[in-house]
Amino acid sequence: MAAAARVLLNGQVFEISLNESVFSWKSLRLRNSPSAAAARGGRGEGENQSVPVSEIIAVCKTEVAGTCKESGRWQKMTSTTTSFTPEQILHDFTVYYVQRSKEHHWCCAEVTFYCSDQLLCNQWVQALQRRLDLQGVRPKNLLVFINPFGGKQLGKHIYDKKVAPLFQLASITTEVIVTEHANHARDHLAEVDLRIYDGIVCVGGDGMFSEVIHGLICQTQKIAGIDQNDPNSKLVACSLRIGIIPAGSTDCICYATVGVNDPVTSALHIIVGDSQPMDVSSVHHNNTFLKYSVSLLGYGFYGDVLKDSENNRWMGPSRYDFSGFKTFLSHQCYEGTVLYLPATETLGNPRDESRCTAGCYVCQYSGKLLDLSNNKQELKHVAEEEDWKVVKGKFLAINAANMSCACSKSPMGLSPAAHLADGTIDLILVRKCSRFNFLRHLIRHTNKDDQFDLAFVEVYRVKQFIFTPKYSEEDNIDIRDIGKNLFGQFCSDHPACGCSQVNSNWNCDGEIIEHAAVEVRVHCQLIKLFVRGIEHSTQKTS
Ligand SMILES: Nc1ncnc2c1ncn2[C@@H]1O[C@H](COP(=O)(O)OP(=O)(O)OP(=O)(O)O)[C@@H](O)[C@H]1O
């Protein structure tokens, strides 16, 4: 078919053209004529526009009833033609495509081209459809889980009103499961035959996403015969991609991978078949698998905030602010030993200026290293000769960030230079300090100041770490007792120092792990998401 043709758009003659990767439309009017200006000021359909084929959502043909009274006149139309009569229009087709709006938001834009020639119209629809069919990365059949109780309990409404119509437009078939209880999605995924699906979508928050990755990773390891209880097992990467339609309270994972928690934006990333690998950390206690983590593992401050907030669920999302304030006042520090294995092969460090964005070269480099090691079948176990480091002390917080953990409350995140898929964790140790200093550190999470540029804060980029609390877990008393004694003195050695003889617990992506002694290992690029990472603000549809 012709690579270019003349059509009408907004009453103006346009030339449309299509090559391997770009569809474009260009006004044939003189640039400064009044009607060209009117076209520019129309519905966003300016004089010249182009859309990557990879960002076309669908192309649909609409036949318009009518008779062509002036058959053949269309072909005689010149580039100076300024108007047309409805009788001339017999056929039109609409192209739906991704349009970038405010910061990181995507929306579905549409443009309708009118043709007087049915053959021409059909040819263009077919040509565009063929190009779309060649986009092999796009999912055709998805398994969708909806948590009707996540966030503001709008999951089902969000899916039905905003997401399902887009999936339908893009000819994606779905099997939808509205969850009936916690762990419904996880248990279903651990058992069901996943070979018929091209991806999994969860409509909910971070807890729902966690369920989905646990089910998917579990099934993948089971099929591969991998023992998840062995902390040194090299896990097999999951082949299915996961999409998140944000409908939770915090939606941290969505925010950190897309840059915004908007259901339409996320649905469009799924439709165009984006793919972003992501690291996952496994958490073990005494050679027993406990949980997987993709964002934050926090002991001390963040563990205590979560534990306390569980008692105040009735407050809704504001429980985190309340418990955060209460935990800050309690100012507990916890004694223990951290053993960590520094990441030496990867690019970057936690205090550099690099940010993990779409097409991140740090993550791509780690992906290549991973491929090399997979090809060589080098199973790297915990090697005794590797250079383990030891840090002992009293800590207000021990945070392990798998990603920046940016969210609306902390736009730069807990570790701004952390990467989604470089096979490392940023281990942040906040040693005992005054309340004032700890507050300074916390405030720096909300602004652009360097939260690591404080004498009592250390940060290391690691592949693995082991935490051993000073006090045996068997002797641990309920952490909630601490709350009863906000300014309590717990350390028998130093009565005034505020060190606790009890242990904290780990906050694992918003869920409590009761054990304090854990072994954590990051698995490079274990899962894939239907996202592309946060786009630079300048990346716009031309
Ligand atoms: N039908 C259900 N009934 C009760 N709980 C459910 C159901 N489906 C899922 N859950 C559980 O609800 C928990 C919270 O869900 P979700 O993460 O979707 O929302 P959220 O907690 O409000 O958001 P966020 O995790 O982003 O803060 C999850 O841990 C999940 O296991």
User: Of 206, 279, 308, 426, which one is the catalytic site residue?
Assistant: 206
* Residues 367 and 407 reside in one and the same domain: yes
* Residues 186 and 262 reside in one and the same domain: yes
CATH code where residue 58 lies? 2.30.29.30
How many Å apart are CA 115 and CA 10, to the nearest integer?
Answer: 12
Q: Which atom of ligand 1 is nearest to the CA of 248?
A: 23
Q: Is the CB of 510 under 6 A from ligand 1?
A: yes
Question: Looking at the predicted complex, does its ipTM rise above 0.90?
Answer: yes
Candidate from 183, 208, 251 with most ligand 1 atoms within 8 A of CB, to mutate: 208
Q: Is the CB of 215 under 6 A from ligand 1?
A: no
The predicted pLDDT at position 320 comes to: 81
Per-residue burial over 387-397, b if 16 or more Cβ lie within 10 Å, else e, is: ebeebebbbbb
Contact 98, 77 (CB under 8 A): no
Neighbouring CB atoms inside 10 A of 294's CB total 25
Burial label for 488, CB within 10 Å (0-12, 13-18, 19+), is middle
Q: Which atom of ligand 1 is nearest to the CA of 179?
A: 1
Residue 248 CA to ligand 1 centre (angstroms): 7
The predicted pLDDT at position 64 comes to: 52
Residue 208 CA to ligand 1 centre (angstroms): 5
Residue of minimum CA distance from atom 15 in ligand 1 = 150
Last residue of a domain, which of 251, 273, 295? Answer: 273
Strand partners, 96: 58, 110
CATH code where residue 195 lies? 3.40.50.10330
* Residues 239 and 100 reside in one and the same domain: no
Residue 200 included in any domain: yes
Helix axes 435-443, 319-330, angle to 10 degrees: 150
Distance from chain centroid for Cα 94: 30
* Residues 168 and 95 reside in one and the same domain: no
Residue 485 included in any domain: no
Residue 431 included in any domain: yes
Last residue of a domain, which of 225, 255, 273? Answer: 273
Residue 533 included in any domain: no
* Residues 243 and 111 reside in one and the same domain: no
Domain of residue 95 covers 1-28+49-63+88-135
Residue 359 included in any domain: yes
Q: Which atom of ligand 1 is nearest to the CA of 180?
A: 1
The predicted pLDDT at position 390 comes to: 96
Contact 231, 284 (CB under 8 A): yes
206 is catalytic: yes
* Residues 198 and 328 reside in one and the same domain: no
| CA neighbours closer than 13 Å in the CB half-sphere of residue 58 | 13
Strand partners, 391: 338
Give the phi and the psi of residue 481 in degrees, each rounded to 5: -65, -25
* Residues 328 and 417 reside in one and the same domain: yes
Last residue of a domain, which of 273, 298, 325? Answer: 273
Q: Is the CB of 246 under 6 A from ligand 1?
A: no
Q: Which atom of ligand 1 is nearest to the CA of 155?
A: 18
pLDDT tens series, the chain, 542 aa: 447 888 888 888 889 999 989 999 988 875 555 555 444 443 444 568 999 999 999 999 875 544 333 333 343 343 344 444 555 556 889 999 999 988 899 999 999 999 878 888 899 999 999 999 999 899 999 999 999 998 788 999 999 999 999 999 999 999 999 999 999 999 999 889 999 999 999 999 999 999 999 999 999 999 999 999 999 999 999 999 999 999 988 889 999 999 999 999 999 999 999 999 999 999 999 999 999 999 999 999 999 999 988 887 777 777 888 888 889 888 999 999 999 999 988 888 999 888 899 999 999 999 888 888 877 655 455 444 579 999 999 999 999 999 998 887 788 889 999 999 999 999 999 999 999 999 998 888 888 788 888 999 999 999 999 999 988 766 554 444 443 443 333 444 444 555 566 899 999 998 999 899 999 999 999 999 999 999 986 554 44
How many Å apart are CA 16 and CA 49, to the nearest integer?
Answer: 10
In one-letter notation, the amino acid at residue 542 is S
In one-letter notation, the amino acid at residue 379 is L
The predicted pLDDT at position 257 comes to: 94
Contact 368, 321 (CB under 8 A): no
Collect contacts of 135-139 with beta carbons under 8 A, ≥24 apart: 135/53, 135/54, 135/272, 135/273, 136/273, 137/272, 137/273, 137/274, 137/275, 138/170, 138/271, 138/272, 138/273, 139/172, 139/198, 139/199, 139/241, 139/270, 139/271, 139/273, 139/530
Q: Is the CB of 178 under 6 A from ligand 1?
A: no
DSSP assignment, residue 478? P
How many Å apart are CA 55 and CA 268, to the nearest integer?
Answer: 9
Strand partners, 335: 394
Contact 338, 518 (CB under 8 A): no
Residue 381 included in any domain: no
The predicted pLDDT at position 501 comes to: 63
* Residues 393 and 258 reside in one and the same domain: no
Is the C-alpha dihedral spanning 534, 535, 538, 542 positive or negative?
A: negative
The predicted pLDDT at position 35 comes to: 52
Task: Mention every residue, 6+ apart, whose C-beta is less than 8 A from residue 115.
Answer: 5, 7, 8, 74, 89, 90, 91, 92, 93, 121, 124
* Residues 283 and 332 reside in one and the same domain: yes
Contact 523, 422 (CB under 8 A): no
* Residues 302 and 412 reside in one and the same domain: yes
Residue 121 CA to ligand 1 centre (angstroms): 47
* Residues 94 and 186 reside in one and the same domain: no
CATH code where residue 519 lies? 2.60.200.40
Number of domains in the chain: 3
* Residues 264 and 147 reside in one and the same domain: yes
Residue 378 included in any domain: no
Strands 518-529 and 276-285: antiparallel
Residue 79 included in any domain: no
Neighbouring CB atoms inside 10 A of 158's CB total 22
Residue 107 CA to ligand 1 centre (angstroms): 27
